[in-house]
Structure 1
Amino acid sequence: MNRPNYFNVIEERLNLLAERIKSRGRLNMLEFNIHAESFYQHFLNELYGWVVLNENEIKQNAEAIDLVDHTNKLILQVSATASKQKIQSSLSKDSIKNYKGYTFKFVSIARDADELRKETVKNPHGIAFNPASDIIDKNSILSKIRGLNINDQERIYKFVKKELVNEIDPLKLESNLATVINILSKEDWNKQEPVGEVNSFEIDRKISHNILNSSKILIDDYSLHYSRVDKIYTVFDIQGSNKSKSVLSTIRQEYAKLKVDFSDDKLFFEIISRIQEKVLNSSNYTTIPFDELELCINILVVDAFIRCKIFENPKDYNYATS
């Protein structure tokens, strides 16, 4: 089931962002807040279907207002501080009178706001504001995401994953790759074709030959892990496990089955999807975070592409064996 996997990644990265904002705030390092404000501008648009713009880009240091949505008539303040005094100060600014007919929303990007919603605040200019519904925090955001349909949840997952990138821990990556390789190697395949020598070749020419326009991004990103995968394969094979043969044959067989119905980029991404599904459904699966599993599968499929185990090679293709 992808729904809990999507939610887990979103929840993990929003919590990490909040903790980093709080931690850096204690060190008086506030430049991170600017980047967080920019993230939330686009994130809220994705999540709620708003059309918020950064008011500070239009009007330098706009008082009490960070984001504005003229389409839905919303003004938003994005803050790492969640306090009654912060909201009270914003609602009291004279500049807010310029937004008659708008609704004020307070977005707490670092701290829970459950208690804040119970507060009664003064609203001298009478702008629309209901603390119970117009105060947004991480928990209310996650609650909304949890209730989304699977397609919308996947869309938010992809956005958050792209915007809030986790740095790759090389040691953890190697361990997870080994786990995935071990899972695939234990699958029972009756007709495994022999896997020959590892080939190095002109990757770009093969990408062009197979019309892999979108897939090129993944291949470029993950081809740098070729030597890491090769090292893991070598260690396993020295032990007599012959896992490289089993893993590469698994990926190649999925490619052979899928190429009947798919081609180009659709074929590449369908291979990734099927291998991912095979791992998740395996009785040998050792749980790792979903986004880390996805990363490992991407690397393994790109590695199989580099080793000439999937997709066609160009005519008169020159390669070296190692």
Structure 2
Amino acid sequence: MGSDRTVGVLVLAATPIGDTADAPPRLLAELTGADVVAAEDTRRLQRLADRLGIRITARVVSYFEGNEAARTDELAEQLRQGRRVVLVTDAGMPSVSDPGYRLVRAAIDADVRVTAVPGPSAVLTALAVSGLPVDRFSFEGFAPRKAGERARRLAEVADDPRTSVWFEAPHRLTDFLTEAAAQLGGDREAAVCRELTKTYEEVRRGPLAQLVAWAADGVRGEVTVVIAGATAVAVDEAAAVAEVAARVAAGERTKPAVAAVAEATGIAKNTLYEAVLADRRPTTDGK
């Protein structure tokens, strides 16, 4: 894959999250055809190249959290000069809880093409094997390390109907699951996916309270947690109408009473207001 010297290209290349056999053929072509390879860990890149049986002749530079801000300008200049820059991280897709976002923005600002080599993703892999709803989901990345911030972050998704996907370090997993159970309820279904695609892959499914007990003995390896979204609570419209009637009988005006009950029950305000008016209309029995 020769270099196009007339225009630079930034290639975000996904790398295996465990099994090297998952590497797509295009990853090998991009690594061997690049002008510059920016790697989160250059030693891990070399080990990957050895396992893939390829030789990288491009200039290899490190690009990790500690030097990401400073090195972005340098790589952006390479792109402006027409170089083909391939960005890889330790596992999965660059920019997804990994270095890459700054460089993507810099490339876009420089009117440089940005493309990607699709490949393994811990987020989608965990979601797929979790057994939880996949029609709507949110990726939450790593939870905050501080207990208070972690509690607030989890509280934010307590009422979200979407399945959520989280990354977590194994030594913090018990604390995370404990707080998740406190904020979302111990009966909320979840799955802890450990060492995905690797030899000791394990997926533990069950209520959060059960997973807390399992994790208490210690967990090793890369961890992705998938948590079910909030279940919609069935609302009794007749009871809501009765509550509005009781508030009005106690002296509250109809519209404020409807607004308060609608907010508390989740019923659309207009729907509830129409139901209240319908309840007040005299009934006819055909006589």
TM-score, shorter chain, exceeding 0.5: no
TM-score normalised by the shorter chain: which range applies? Answer: under 0.3
So what's the TM-score if we normalise by structure 2?
0.27
Of structures 1 and 2, the larger Rg is shown by 2
So what's the TM-score if we normalise by structure 1?
0.25
Higher helix share: 1
